[in-house]
Structure 1
Amino acid sequence: MSQLHLDHRKGLLITGIGGLVLSADIPLLRLGQGETWSTLLLRSSTTFICALIIWAVWNLVTGKRRKVLPGKIGYLVAALYGLASIAFMTAVYNTKTANLVFILAFNTVFSALLSWVFLKERPKAITFIAMFLMLIGVGIIVYEGLSAGHVFGDLMGLLSTFILASAITVTRASGKDMSFAAMMGTAVPIAVAAFMVSQNGFNVAVPGWIIFNGAVVTTIAFICLATGPRFLSGPEVAMFYLLETVLTPIWVWLVFSERPTDATLLGGIIIISALIGHSLWQMVHSRRRARTTAIRHPI
């Protein structure tokens, strides 16, 4: 088995863990019962502190001083993750959970388009079909949000998705280790949230859930999802956000009895079906290509 194939499998495992863990993010934010900026400040501060602890322990154990961010490009990626976090948190408190997580699945479309424009990785015809179907699904959700008064939250969710896709694309283009970029990027929302909290006061009813979220859930998810682009293409990494799209509404439905509207379910089914179909096609195509390569170049 070639090193390239082993790296691809490693990327799939790492990114899959990140997407699975991330599905607990929104339910934990809701359980914290806090207002937007206080929750963002506590969550981001906890993640930032954990990043510094992990970095210090890493240096101590390995005996090597590792850079937290790999140069200027690392600071750019960290800033993008930080801005995405602000937009995401704003969306959490201004639209329904189901709307948000289905819109976040649009990350795949943005990643494919950005990779095409900036990395010259032209999407295949099947990807264009999947993107078109996802556009329809997101359009249904956003239209429903418009009539229900959630349009601002839905648009912030789209903005968060676009910025996140940009971070993935830049990471992929650089080829550098951005494991700490997402966590260090929390410095951006910390600064913004600290200012807002200083004006309006701190309000989180159950801070334990938010601390657990920042220390465990987002820390693990950020490390895994920021590492994924080293081994996978941008669209492939974005595909693993499908786990959050599928699982988060289930957790919220079970914990908070918040059933998605019929329009949101319809849009979500279209998005998920398009993503699953596309993922299955990619898996089959990848295996066929691997077999063909093995036949042409026997070991």
Structure 2
Amino acid sequence: MPPTTSDHGRGLLLTAIGELALSMDIPLVRLGDGDIWSILGMRSAATVLATLAMLGAMRLASGKWPILVPGRAGLLAGLLYGLSSLTFVLSVFNTATANVVFIVAFNPMFGALLSWLFLKEKPSVATLIAMVFMISGVGLIVSDGLSSGHIFGDAMALLSALILAAAITVGRASRREMGFVPLLAAILPAALGLALALPSGLAIAHPGWILFNGAIVMPVAFWCLATGPRYLSAPEVGMFYLLETVLAPIWVWLIFNETPTAMALVGGGILVATIGLHSLWMARRKSIFSTGLD
């Protein structure tokens, strides 16, 4: 049954809120001003505790527990989400913010490749062409990382995009409810971060930013992004992914005066333009196809 107009509007609002919240993740991590393991542990632990509080409230309100981790597919997706959180934070600490968000924007194309390989969903010619342009954009950013000494951080951002795409592909293949999986998966990076940080003590200059990020911003972002896209087409979701890609470097520039390199801007511009044009083309194709059926 297709979504109604009100459902579509709800999907647009939730997805926009989710991406807007997610765009604040890197600036809040930077504002915390601490070592990587302390921030990873506190941020992830705050997400887990907020999720447990949310689940408790839902249990009291409805009298039953929602689906938490649906079987082995949920466990595998949770492991992948946890690993992607680790690699993402590693990338934030080892390369420029613009590099991180531009490279992570390659996630939808990794998703298309994995769906092709494992779900036998052959991408369209337009998607294949878009992949070529996006690979060239990522290549420019990574080559710049080689010359500037940021290659490890760029590699972690690329690995984060791949692992996240794999988690989403597992969820799509299982066709099970995965809304709480990425939130509960924060247990893994929380345990690792705290295990490495606690022996010498947490080292975070401004822990309030990290607690706010982990307990409020990330749960809101993940819940909205898990719920909103149910009512939207793939092209519309792709367009919303541009919000984080564009806004995160702007927040960091405004707060920290960190200006992206020329090569990062060129590569990022290619990525943003490609995602935008591809999404518009897919939306137009869907509109023409729907009109043809009517």
- Would you say same fold, with TM above 0.5? yes
Tell me if the contact between 2:31 and 2:206 (Cα under 8 Å) persists in the aligned partners: yes
The aligned counterpart of 2:44 is 44
> In 2, distance between residues paired with 1:17 and 1:175?
24
The aligned counterpart of 1:153 is 153
After superposition, the C-alpha distances for 1:235-258 in whole angstroms (9 at most, x for unaligned) are: 875654322111100111111111
The aligned counterpart of 2:284 is 284
The aligned counterpart of 1:3 is 2
Once structures 1 and 2 are overlaid, which stretch shifts more, 6-15 or 79-88? 6-15
> In 1, distance between residues paired with 2:183 and 2:133?
33
> In 2, distance between residues paired with 1:232 and 1:176?
18
The aligned counterpart of 2:116 is 116
For the pair 1:246 / 2:232, whether they are aligned, the reply is no
Three-state SS of the structure 2 residue aligned to 1:3 is: coil
After superposition, the C-alpha distances for 1:148-181 in whole angstroms (9 at most, x for unaligned) are: 0000000000011100001111111112111111
After superposition, the C-alpha distances for 1:4-28 in whole angstroms (9 at most, x for unaligned) are: 5767765554333322210010001
> In 2, distance between residues paired with 1:9 and 1:76?
32
One-letter amino acid of the structure 2 residue matched with residue 261 of structure 1: T
Residue 77 of structure 1 deviates from its aligned partner by 1.2
Q: CA RMSD in A?
A: 2.0
1:108–1:270 Cα change, 3 Å: same
Three-state SS of the structure 1 residue aligned to 2:94 is: coil
1:236–1:189 Cα change, 3 Å: farther
The aligned counterpart of 1:221 is 221
Tell me if the contact between 2:91 and 2:156 (Cα under 8 Å) persists in the aligned partners: yes
Gaps of 5+ in 1: none
TM-score by length of 1: 0.92
The aligned counterpart of 2:64 is 64
For the pair 1:262 / 2:262, whether they are aligned, the reply is yes
Tell me if the contact between 2:41 and 2:194 (Cα under 8 Å) persists in the aligned partners: yes
Tell me if the contact between 2:110 and 2:165 (Cα under 8 Å) persists in the aligned partners: yes
The aligned counterpart of 1:92 is 92
Once structures 1 and 2 are overlaid, which stretch shifts more, 29-38 or 58-67? 58-67
> In 1, distance between residues paired with 2:81 and 2:170?
11
1:231–1:110 Cα change, 3 Å: farther
The aligned counterpart of 1:19 is 19
One-letter amino acid of the structure 2 residue matched with residue 148 of structure 1: S
Once structures 1 and 2 are overlaid, which stretch shifts more, 219-228 or 37-46? 219-228
Tell me if the contact between 1:80 and 1:163 (Cα under 8 Å) persists in the aligned partners: yes
Gaps of 5+ in 2: none
The aligned counterpart of 1:274 is 274
Residue 226 of structure 1 deviates from its aligned partner by 3.2
Residue 100 of structure 1 deviates from its aligned partner by 0.7
Three-state SS of the structure 2 residue aligned to 1:120 is: coil
Three-state SS of the structure 2 residue aligned to 1:102 is: helix
1:47–1:56 Cα change, 3 Å: same
1:119–1:16 Cα change, 3 Å: farther
> In 2, distance between residues paired with 1:287 and 1:235?
11
> In 1, distance between residues paired with 2:274 and 2:171?
25
